[in-house]
Amino acid sequence: MHAFSSPSGAEASLPAAAPAMGRDRRSVEWLVVGLAFGLAWPLWSWRGKVDQAGLVVDASITLITSDRENLSCALERDVGPYRCGFRAPDRPWPGETSRHDLLAPYVAVEHRTFLVPALFDQPALVARYAAEPPANQPRDRLRRFSVRCKLRLVERLDEVGARWSPDWEWTRQTGVWVAEPLACELE
């Protein structure tokens, strides 16, 4: 046991409670660890629910009016009532698909690709298209604009083909969501 001198010169010993303080400190440390785990677990579990079917997300998408006719995708199956214009790159589906059910790829400013049916049927885009019809103008002569859309996620696709213009090469896009437009407004 350690001894020290008091101001009166008498020796005093450490209180007998000193070892108990170490145990109390350790209990507090374990309590803090337990609370941190208790808070972290729900957050960890929630992370996978950021993107799930039925969820409505905000997406800011940049466009030019010629995108209405130029964008296309390739997928070997339908997604609900929706379908890409091609079943594989350069292999269109037989017959005609309603423009309302035709999927097209759009890239949000967050670099996420969505396949969206009838995006240009949204009132804000109908008005923009009427104000600036592409009328066979080259892409680089059209003004780029942005829309902020609420999209309802339908289904996540591992891989899909996308083409941004009929004379461009097909690209492979991964982790793409098919999403229905609920409302869009010009930014």
Summarised one tens digit per residue, pLDDT across range 148-187 is 999 999 999 999 999 999 999 999 999 999 999 999 999 9
pLDDT score of 47: 43
CA distance linking residue 177 with residue 73, whole number of Å: 13
Same domain, 101 and 130: yes
Same domain, 110 and 156: yes
Percentage of the chain lying above the pLDDT 90 cut: 67
Same domain, 155 and 124: yes
Same domain, 77 and 111: yes
Same domain, 28 and 63: no
The enclosing H or E element of 174 equals: strand 171-186
Q: Is 124 exposed, middle or buried (0-12, 13-18, 19+ CB in 10 A)?
A: middle
Same domain, 40 and 70: no
Same domain, 21 and 77: no
The domain total for the chain is: 2
Structure tokens at 180: 């229905």
Distances (CA, A) of 69 to 11, 37, 72, 129, 134: 94, 52, 8, 11, 10
Structure tokens at 73: 């995708």
* Three-state secondary structure call for residue 121: helix
pLDDT score of 35: 61
Same domain, 169 and 97: yes
Same domain, 176 and 102: yes
Same domain, 37 and 64: no
DSSP 31-98: HHHHHHHHHHHHHHHHGGGSS-TT-EEEEEEEE-TTHHHH-EEE-SS-BTTBB-SEEETTEEPSS---
Instruction: Provide mean pLDDT across the span 6-29.
Output: 59
Residues in the chain: 187
Same domain, 172 and 94: yes
CA nearest to 109, candidates 149, 69, 157, 52: 149
Higher-confidence residue of 168 and 4: namely 168
Strands 171-186 and 113-117: parallel
Residue pLDDT, tens place only, 79-98: 999 999 999 999 999 998 99
Residue pLDDT, tens place only, 29-76: 766 666 665 555 444 444 444 579 999 999 999 999 999 999 999 999
Same domain, 17 and 92: no
Percentage of the chain lying above the pLDDT 70 cut: 76
Q: Are 151 and 181 in contact (CB under 8 A)?
A: yes
Last residue of a domain, one of 30, 47, 64: 47
Higher-confidence residue of 25 and 1: namely 25
Residue pLDDT, tens place only, 104-163: 999 999 999 999 999 999 999 999 999 999 988 888 899 999 999 999 999 999 999 999
pTM of the model: 0.73
| Structural domain that includes position 73 | 56-186
Q: Are 103 and 109 in contact (CB under 8 A)?
A: no
